[in-house]
Amino acid sequence: MERTERAVERQLRAMACQTFEVGLFKPDVEGNGPVMVPRVWDAETLRRSVGWLRRENRDGRNIFCRPKGEHNLTLVDDLSQEAITEMKRAGFAPALVVETSPKNFQAWLNHGRSLTAALSTAVAKALASEFGGDTGAADWRHFGRLAGFTNRKEKYRDPGTGLYPFVHLIESAGRSYRRADAFIESVEAELNRKREERDAHTRNDAHIGSSHKVSLKTIEDFRADSRYAGDGTRIDIAYAIYAIAHGVPVDQVGAAIRSRDLTHKGTEKRQEDYVERTIGKALLAAERCFAGQRR
């Protein structure tokens, strides 16, 4: 218990967030129990909840956390020890390094200032691409593991002892990295360049009948919209309804929804069921709207 408390304390201090989102994830939950149990806690409440989290962890739930709202951190997932060494050499020393399973690491980088959702996602993708992380897990709201608990993935269970490996806190300096300012500026400049390029294409679109083509919103535009408060489910359905109403093919809508981390929905089958349900709701909404227009 004391070792877990110390690991949690060090991680919270290194992340230095006011409020955390905590996720207790169990993909093979029995019956009608929730696959993900979410909590929103300040640091002190999280500290007081370590005992409860340990019991849930022993019962098979993986323990994850992330900052709530826009923040100054980026998680780079699925890194090797060599990648961590290269990050430091290149001026990208992590504020926090967690070994999530034997020889597999997550690194949190501190940018020294809060980033918007769109910029944060672009930064996450750039860092994952640069250092060989998981680009599929690169977005501004990806969960990282909380140190001091066990990784309950079955593939990591020791066949001899039946035990699962602990998630170890390796480093917790908490400092921003040396190249933060220059790197953020370069990513932001590229993001602005792409936005200006899209705007230019929109302005140059040929007339269709009496109207112009318009540049459709992407799912990233919805994710950056403060009206949805970062709620992934609300964002997915809102984007799906919008995209289908504007003629975007269903397979493209599904691919957009899958561009965020859906592991909290459960197994791959449950994730696909979620995507199909979301698209189904959007199709029904579009059909009702069309029927109303015909009446």
Q: Compute CA distances 71 → 18, 102, 116, 155, 169, whole Å.
A: 10, 29, 8, 33, 21
In the prediction, which pLDDT does 5 show?
97
CA nearest neighbour of 72 among 124, 27, 3: 124
0.75 exceeded by the pTM? no
Contact indicator for 131, 200 with CB cutoff of 8 Å: no
pLDDT at 208: 42
pLDDT in tens, the chain (295 residues): 899 999 999 999 999 999 999 999 998 888 888 999 999 999 999 999 999 999 999 999 999 999 999 999 999 999 999 999 999 999 999 999 999 999 999 999 999 999 999 999 999 999 999 999 999 899 999 999 999 999 999 999 999 999 999 999 999 999 999 999 999 999 999 999 988 887 777 666 544 444 444 578 999 999 999 888 889 999 999 999 999 988 899 889 999 999 999 988 888 888 999 999 999 898 888 776 644 444 4
Residues 6+ apart with CB under 8 A from 252: 243
What is the per-residue pLDDT for 214?
Answer: 57
Q: How remote is the C-alpha of 100 from its chain's centroid?
A: 16
Domains annotated on the chain, with CATH: 2-180 (3.30.70.1790), 199-294 (1.10.1240)
| CA–CA dist 118, 141 (Å, integer) | 11
- What is the enclosing helix (H) or strand (E) of 212? strand 211-212
For residue 96, the cross-strand partners are 108
Residue 21 tokens, joined: 């989102």
Which pLDDT score is estimated for 205?
A: 56
Eight-state DSSP code of residue 12: H
Classify the phi-psi angles of 140: left when phi > 0, otherwise alpha if psi is within -120 to 50, otherwise beta: alpha
